[in-house]
């Protein structure tokens, strides 16, 4: 009776690959400061920023110098100055068409 020698070879390469994959390294991202836009005063919640009409109440508009924009959908509201800018274009008289 010839006994077969069973050699157990550990798949070293597979183990190494598993170690290489591992867990994904989480990249540090700045946390959302949406909570800072809410203010609780006397049991009532007030918002310091305007909310986007397209995205809903939970999405706030970022305040810039001359505009407020939504970072989600791109909705932009331009802050109009106190003086409403109205470009009064002088009505150009149509040139009379010469009939031949
Ligand atoms: Zn939006």
Per-residue model confidence as pLDDT tens digits over 69-98: 999 999 999 987 655 445 556 666 667 777
Asked if 59 and 70 touch (Cβ cutoff 8 Å), the reply is yes
- Residue 76's H or E segment, with its range, is strand 76-78
Model-wide pTM > 0.95: no
Cα(12) to centroid(ligand 1), Å:
52
- Residue 18's H or E segment, with its range, is helix 12-21
Cα(57) to centroid(ligand 1), Å:
9
Strand partners, 61: 70
Coil, helix or strand for 41?
A: strand
Q: Which residues of the chain have pLDDT under 70?
A: 1-20, 81-94, 100
Coil, helix or strand for 90?
A: coil
Extract the tokens encoding 77.
């509201």
């Amino acid at each position: 009776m010839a006994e077969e020698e069973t050699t157990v070879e550990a798949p070293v390469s597979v183990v190494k690959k598993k170690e290489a994959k591992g867990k994904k390294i989480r990249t540090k991202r700045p946390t959302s400061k949406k909570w800072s836009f809410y203010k609780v005063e006397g049991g009532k919640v007030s918002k310091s920023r305007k909310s986007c009409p397209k995205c809903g109440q939970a999405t706030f508009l970022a305040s810039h110098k001359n505009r407020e924009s939504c970072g989600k959908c791109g909705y932009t509201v331009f802050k109009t100055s106190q003086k409403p800018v109205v470009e009064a274009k002088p009505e150009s008289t149509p040139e009379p068409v010469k009939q031949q």
